[in-house]
Amino acid sequence: MMDSLLQWFMDLLNGMPNQLIVFIVSMVPLIELRGGLIAAALLGMPLWEGVLFCLAGNIVPIPFILLFITPLFNWLKKTKLFRPMVEKLEARSMGKSEKIQKYQFWGLVLFVGIPLPGTGAWTGALIASLLNIKLKKAVPAIFLGLLLATTIMCVITYGIPAVVRLFS
């Protein structure tokens, strides 16, 4: 699913500079940094450039989520139209929050940092906000998680293909 969604975004953004494509792809929920680094590798961007634009794109939405998502959700839950959607999103996010609740800082680092479906900076920031984790704890945890995810994804998207080419 992520591959087809990533391809759709790349086709939609075709003609834009590669850096902007990677930046925008990295901002999108579900795709985030994981998809951004895959896009950067597919577009032939150097590792350092891909990492720079992916991190920047993935970090941009995080302060807005941490600061404004709870008031926004509370406002949307007052409407008949959006209440079911917000409650479903909250329930899905909180369903993934067990480890974060138990370990707080390190739970959030690992949740954001291990690139699995449904994890990442967006969901981590949403859960941190819903759990009322203070900004001074949530922001560094999310940033460390992004660095961990970046390292893992760099090995997958740049390192493994380089090793395969080396031995081919």
Task: Answer whether 69's CB lies under 8 Å from 138's CB.
Answer: no
Q: Are residues 75 and 49 in the same domain?
A: no
**What pLDDT shows up at residue 95?**
78
Q: Same domain, yes or no, for 34 and 83? A: no
> Pseudo-torsion of CA 89, 143, 67, 92, nearest 10°?
10
pLDDT digits (tens, 9 = 90+) for 56-79: 999 999 999 999 999 999 999 999
Predicted confidence at residue 9, as pLDDT, reads 65
Mark whether 38 and 85 lie in a shared domain. no
Q: How many domains does the chain have?
A: 2
Global pTM? 0.84
Q: Are residues 55 and 66 in the same domain?
A: no
Asked if residue 55 is part of any domain, the answer here is yes
Residue 88 belongs to what domain range? 61-148
Q: Are residues 86 and 54 in the same domain?
A: no
Tell which residue, 124, 121, 114, 123, has the closest CA to residue 152.
Answer: 114
φ and ψ of 10, to 5 deg: -65, -40
Last residue of a domain, one of 59, 82, 108: 59
Q: Which of 34, 59, 84 is the last residue of a domain?
A: 59
- Kindly report, residue by residue over 109-140, the tens digit of the pLDDT: 999 999 888 889 998 999 999 888 999 999 99
Residues 17 and 89 occupy one common structural domain:
no
